[in-house]
Amino acid sequence: MISAPVYSPSEVESAIRQSWGRDTSQSPKGWTPGNPSYAQCVITSLVYEHYLGGEIVYGDVEYENEDYTIRVTQHFWNEIDGEKVDLTWEQFRPGAYLIHIDGPILPEELTYFETINRLYETLRERVDRVLQNRV
């Protein structure tokens, strides 16, 4: 029996960060190279869970937008053994904070949506290539 390779959290994080792009963002018009984690939270949490397990948790974040209006948006991250792992928090401006936490949510509840599943598959395939080519 051939076992799947085991990757460290830092290897998976690095591969994810290298693999983000406008085409993996849920909001490609707002994505920039200067904010590569923008609108990547759902997809990133799915890919991270794929490699390292744990749970996907979500909640509402309140933040100030570029035009200084207050916004609330849903945000997703991972928890492994009770530890929060949030690779995309930096997409928010300083001062953002969680106002409500839900979850966990099953990956199937997210990949059920065609757009989410397509973005997830794109990012996961890229991450697979990065991890397979690591030295």
Helical ranges in the chain per DSSP H: 9-19, 41-52, 107-111, 114-132
Of all residues in the chain, the percent with pLDDT exceeding 70 is: 93
pLDDT of 5 above 80: no
pTM of the model: 0.89
pLDDT digits (tens, 9 = 90+) for 38-80: 999 999 999 999 999 999 999 999 877 776 667 778 899 999 9
- Rounded to the nearest integer, the mean pLDDT of the chain is 90
Structural domain total, the chain: 1
Is residue 4, in this structure, part of any structural domain at all? Answer: no
d(CA 38, CA 44): 11
What pLDDT does residue 68 have? 65
Is residue 3, in this structure, part of any structural domain at all? Answer: no
Is residue 14, in this structure, part of any structural domain at all? Answer: yes
